[in-house]
Structure 1
Amino acid sequence: MQVTETLNEGLKRGYNITVSAAELDEKVNEKLREAAPEISMKGFRKGKVPMALLKKQFGPRLLGEAMQESVDGAMAKHFEDSGDRPAMQPKVEMTNENWKEGDDIEVAMSYEALPEIPEVDLSKVKLEKLVVKADDAAIDEALGSLAETAQNFEDRKKNSKAKDGDQVVIDFVGKVDDVAFDGGAAEDFPLVLGSGQFIPGFEEQLVGVKAGEEKAVEVTFPEEYGNADLAGKAAVFDVTVKAVKEPKAAEIDDELAKKFGADDLAALKAQIAERLEAEYTGASRQVMKRGLLDALDKAVKFDLPPSLVEAEANQIAHQLWHEDNPDVHGHDHDHIEPTDEHKALAERRVRLGLVLAEVGSKQEITVTDAEMTQAVMNQARQYPGQERQFFEFVQQNPGMRQQIQAPIFEDKVVDHLFEQVTVKEKEVSKDDLQKAVEALEDE
């Protein structure tokens, strides 16, 4: 076997690999010798079939396996000896197109090597950790929001008109072509106007009604309505308004606390403070992580594999195009040409990805099975009733597993780097933290 270098330019590499016919023949014979003891053939006892006959019968198929294994082995040995790590799957193609049995195999292999990642002097990196305390005002604001979600409804003054957000208590009977249909009637039904609980157009027509009023509500069922007998049909609902009620926020007291699983109001406030500070900590970490990545991006410069940058730029352009065109769900549109801005962002992402991967490798940082299982479980909850199918999908798709694993690995590496740099805490207001987070989104 012979490996000859044909290209060494920047990160681009090219090699010709030649596997002699004699090497292939020996590999085929080796496979036949291994299999011979288990082979039976008419006229011969098991394990006693002549080698020449075995070669005639099984040689052509084994030759294909030998060719693939020889080329794969040559590539593996090359990467082991050279220390190169290909940025993407190497391109491999036979160059002697008229190959026939008995000829040497000639293969051209090309790839882009991952660059050497220089060490980062983390002692010079200084980060600011924004610290926000959950003050009384923030806790009271959160309590007010909880009280609104636990709101009650009280009767409006007599002859008051229903407003959007009010609750109307109604009796109704729905008819299509003057015939009542199944499931289209109810009594004392509490409906919050603007909730979208009924089909489009129904609730809007009840804005302005009064208690005791009767109204014919004319609507058309959507074409995609679940009941095929009603889909797309015009209907009239005879509605009797029995009460009009306005929303009233619940009292902020121990009873409210119990509705949310706390023993009393003091315990609920403590829970809210803990939740708020966890949110603040998460937001602060985002800001500090961006500061770390910015520092790494400035501190480390090296050549980037063009194929990785191109792939990342195409992905960025494609993703942003779909965000600007949310109505297009398929991917059969024209190619989206990356802009210079996309390419610059791709270079940053590739550079930082390689740096973080290198740090993680050197520090032997890994994602444990328990962490992976927890992450899959968290995502599975987004598909109620289909959790098992989601687990199976993840198990059968390496790409999906990598997609879930990558951010966990990145966060673990970032946490490791936080321990190596200088971090100074700075107490700020909630508004200041919010502005810092919004600044991240604007960049």
Structure 2
Amino acid sequence: MAITVETLDKLERRITLSLAADALKNEVDARLKKLQRTTKADGFRPGKVPMNVVAQRYGYSVQYEVVNDQLGVAFAKAAHEAGLRVAGQPTISEKEGDAAEGQLQFDATFEVYPEVAIGDLASAEVERATAEVNEAAIDRTVEILRKQRRTFAQRPATEGAADGDRVTIDFEGKIDGVPFDGGKAEGFQFLVGEGQMLEAFEKAVRGMKAGESKTFPLAFPEDYHGKDVAGKEADFLVTVKKVEAQNLPELNEEFIKSLGLADGSIDTLRADIKRNLEREVKFRIAARNKAAAMEALLKLVDFDLPKALVDAETERLLEGARADLKARGIPDADKAPIPAEMFKPQAERRVRLGLTVAELVKANDLAAKPEQLQAHINELAQSYEQPAQVVAWYMSDRQRMAEVEAVVIEGNVADFILSKAKVTDKPLSFEELMGQQG
């Protein structure tokens, strides 16, 4: 029998499902007889409870289960016969009007996946970033390693704080003479000249000696993370309790060996740093170019989205936001009144991109190949001390392997787009790529 599919909206469809009343009754009776074997009731031996008692106790729930099971089978069969790609779960309700004798009829309303038509990739324009690891980047990393192992010694009372010093201070800020939350601290430490405090605050403390106090104005930026004080001007009273000068370790054999390089050679250290930086640059460039390729791909498609998929993705983003709040120690984060609508644009973008990428993968054989998965895992493992253990960790878990597969597929898609699109190369400095400008 041909399946009649009714179009209700762009992607919304409806079909009618029919179930034979006799078949439902027979299945209900069979399940009740099975239950009878284990049903217990006062006054009866196990397995000897009368069927009318079993039916009275379980009849409604069994019938509900049977109808749901049969509707699921009937819907799957009808969707298959009609060649439908169903998005999400159908909504099923009893059909109004007369049904054929001995039949129960239901309406199944659902959405289908859209037809994804991708425009000409040759018309896409993509800016592809490039970057190299130079000697200056290696020098900078060496200095970071030295700073990570620096020590501090108290300066003489006659010497003021300079860049690189660690200062211990008491401070209190007021706006219009009134203290504000987070504007007061005692025994607070920070490193001068390393951007840990607002520039005006550092400027005021720079040059101060232990035991000195100073009052100075400070204008909070408009985009300051503390919304209560953003864009406002405060007066701060600062008292310096201690000034400590940094002592950087010598770049010698002993220092290099402490980093795990047995030969203690500066050449070995620089070569090791270069390998690590090149690996990081490769990943960052790939991520940046992948994002650019995906953005160009989205400009070549325009299709309706199944509401069910968007709603599901919105819920995932919402739950992710709540989990993030909980991880930050926010009380009752799971009950936080976060409006789902704020995630809808992001959810729509993700669904649209996911459907588009899936179509591109299918049409151009861009699925991840076993050797690609292995190569990607090996590369990830190289940044750890025991790469073999990391490889085994990935290979032993399906979820982790699925995540690796998704990354590889996205890389294949990005490479395919870049091979077809109008590409303009944009060289970036190491600092720009790593977000270390200034």
TM-score between both structures, scaled by the size of structure 1: 0.57
SS at structure 2 position matched to 1:139? helix
Q: Please give the alpha-carbon distance, in whole angstroms, between the structure 1 residues aligned to 2:322 and 2:40.
A: 63
Instruction: Confirm whether residue 193 of structure 1 aligns to residue 178 of structure 2.
Output: no
Q: Per the alignment, do residues 431 and 266 of structure 1 end up closer, same or farther by CA in structure 2, a change over 3 Å counting?
A: closer
Residue of structure 2 equivalent to 1:140: 139
For the Cα contact (< 8 Å) 2:79–2:85, is it kept in 1?
yes
CA-atom RMSD in angstroms: 5.4
For the Cα contact (< 8 Å) 2:366–2:409, is it kept in 1?
no
Per mean C-alpha deviation after superposition, the further-off stretch among 280-289 and 328-337 is 328-337
Q: Report the alpha carbon displacement of residue 162 of structure 1 after superposing the two structures with TM.
A: 7.5
SS at structure 2 position matched to 1:110? strand
For the Cα contact (< 8 Å) 2:38–2:46, is it kept in 1?
yes
Q: How does 1:30-429 map to 2 (within 5 A)?
A: 31=31, 35=34, 57=54, 60=59, 62-94=62-94, 105-118=104-117, 129-154=128-153, 156-157=155-156, 160=159, 193=168, 201-203=186-188, 208-209=209-210, 245-262=244-261, 263-309=264-310, 329=333, 331-333=335-337, 335=339, 337-338=341-342, 346-360=347-361, 363=365, 365=367, 408-423=404-419, 426=425, 428-429=427-428
Q: Provide, for residues 298-329 of structure 1, a one-character-per-residue CA deviation record: whole Å limited to 9, x for no partner.
A: 223322224444665788799899999x9894
For the Cα contact (< 8 Å) 2:13–2:111, is it kept in 1?
yes
Q: Per the alignment, do residues 296 and 432 of structure 1 end up closer, same or farther by CA in structure 2, a change over 3 Å counting?
A: farther
One-letter amino acid matched to 1:354: L
For the Cα contact (< 8 Å) 1:2–1:17, is it kept in 2?
no
Q: Provide, for residues 131-182 of structure 1, a one-character-per-residue CA deviation record: whole Å limited to 9, x for no partner.
A: 3221111111111122122213356447557889757xxxxxxxxxxxxxxx
For the Cα contact (< 8 Å) 2:91–2:108, is it kept in 1?
yes
Q: Per the alignment, do residues 253 and 322 of structure 1 end up closer, same or farther by CA in structure 2, a change over 3 Å counting?
A: same
Q: Report the alpha carbon displacement of residue 120 of structure 1 after superposing the two structures with TM.
A: 6.5
* Number of aligned residue pairs: 338
Q: Please give the alpha-carbon distance, in whole angstroms, between the structure 1 residues aligned to 2:424 and 2:273.
A: 23
Q: Please give the alpha-carbon distance, in whole angstroms, between the structure 2 residues aligned to 1:265 and 1:209.
A: 38
Q: Please give the alpha-carbon distance, in whole angstroms, between the structure 1 residues aligned to 2:324 and 2:39.
A: 63
Q: Per the alignment, do residues 159 and 346 of structure 1 end up closer, same or farther by CA in structure 2, a change over 3 Å counting?
A: closer
Q: Please give the alpha-carbon distance, in whole angstroms, between the structure 2 residues aligned to 1:142 and 1:38.
A: 74
For the Cα contact (< 8 Å) 1:2–1:19, is it kept in 2?
no
SS at structure 1 position matched to 2:302? coil
For the Cα contact (< 8 Å) 2:128–2:289, is it kept in 1?
yes
Q: Report the alpha carbon displacement of residue 193 of structure 1 after superposing the two structures with TM.
A: 3.5
Q: Per the alignment, do residues 143 and 46 of structure 1 end up closer, same or farther by CA in structure 2, a change over 3 Å counting?
A: closer
SS at structure 2 position matched to 1:202? strand
Q: Please give the alpha-carbon distance, in whole angstroms, between the structure 2 residues aligned to 1:69 and 1:253.
A: 74
Residue of structure 2 equivalent to 1:188: none
Q: Per the alignment, do residues 244 and 348 of structure 1 end up closer, same or farther by CA in structure 2, a change over 3 Å counting?
A: closer
Q: Please give the alpha-carbon distance, in whole angstroms, between the structure 2 residues aligned to 1:161 and 1:422.
A: 55
Q: Provide, for residues 220-241 of structure 1, a one-character-per-residue CA deviation record: whole Å limited to 9, x for no partner.
A: xxxxxxxxxxxxxxxxxxxxx9
One-letter amino acid matched to 1:282: F
Q: Per the alignment, do residues 113 and 409 of structure 1 end up closer, same or farther by CA in structure 2, a change over 3 Å counting?
A: farther
One-letter amino acid matched to 2:352: R
Q: Per the alignment, do residues 56 and 2 of structure 1 end up closer, same or farther by CA in structure 2, a change over 3 Å counting?
A: farther
SS at structure 1 position matched to 2:75? helix
Q: Please give the alpha-carbon distance, in whole angstroms, between the structure 2 residues aligned to 1:319 and 1:65.
A: 33
For the Cα contact (< 8 Å) 1:95–1:108, is it kept in 2?
yes
For the Cα contact (< 8 Å) 1:304–1:347, is it kept in 2?
yes
Q: Please give the alpha-carbon distance, in whole angstroms, between the structure 1 residues aligned to 2:244 and 2:344.
A: 57
Q: Per the alignment, do residues 364 and 144 of structure 1 end up closer, same or farther by CA in structure 2, a change over 3 Å counting?
A: closer
**5+ long unaligned stretches in structure 1:** 97-101, 168-191, 211-240, 379-394, 396-400, 439-443
One-letter amino acid matched to 1:304: L
Q: Per the alignment, do residues 139 and 21 of structure 1 end up closer, same or farther by CA in structure 2, a change over 3 Å counting?
A: same
Q: Please give the alpha-carbon distance, in whole angstroms, between the structure 2 residues aligned to 1:427 and 1:254.
A: 39
Q: Please give the alpha-carbon distance, in whole angstroms, between the structure 1 residues aligned to 2:362 and 2:162.
A: 62
For the Cα contact (< 8 Å) 2:128–2:292, is it kept in 1?
no
Q: Report the alpha carbon displacement of residue 77 of structure 1 after superposing the two structures with TM.
A: 1.1
SS at structure 2 position matched to 1:145? helix
SS at structure 1 position matched to 2:93? strand
Q: Report the alpha carbon displacement of residue 367 of structure 1 after superposing the two structures with TM.
A: 11
SS at structure 1 position matched to 2:69? helix
One-letter amino acid matched to 1:138: A
Q: Please give the alpha-carbon distance, in whole angstroms, between the structure 2 residues aligned to 1:296 and 1:32.
A: 56
Q: Per the alignment, do residues 405 and 411 of structure 1 end up closer, same or farther by CA in structure 2, a change over 3 Å counting?
A: same
One-letter amino acid matched to 1:86: V
Q: Percent identity?
A: 23
Q: Report the alpha carbon displacement of residue 409 of structure 1 after superposing the two structures with TM.
A: 4.6
Q: Please give the alpha-carbon distance, in whole angstroms, between the structure 2 residues aligned to 1:36 and 1:166.
A: 78
Q: Please give the alpha-carbon distance, in whole angstroms, between the structure 2 residues aligned to 1:55 and 1:360.
A: 58
Q: Per the alignment, do residues 367 and 27 of structure 1 end up closer, same or farther by CA in structure 2, a change over 3 Å counting?
A: farther
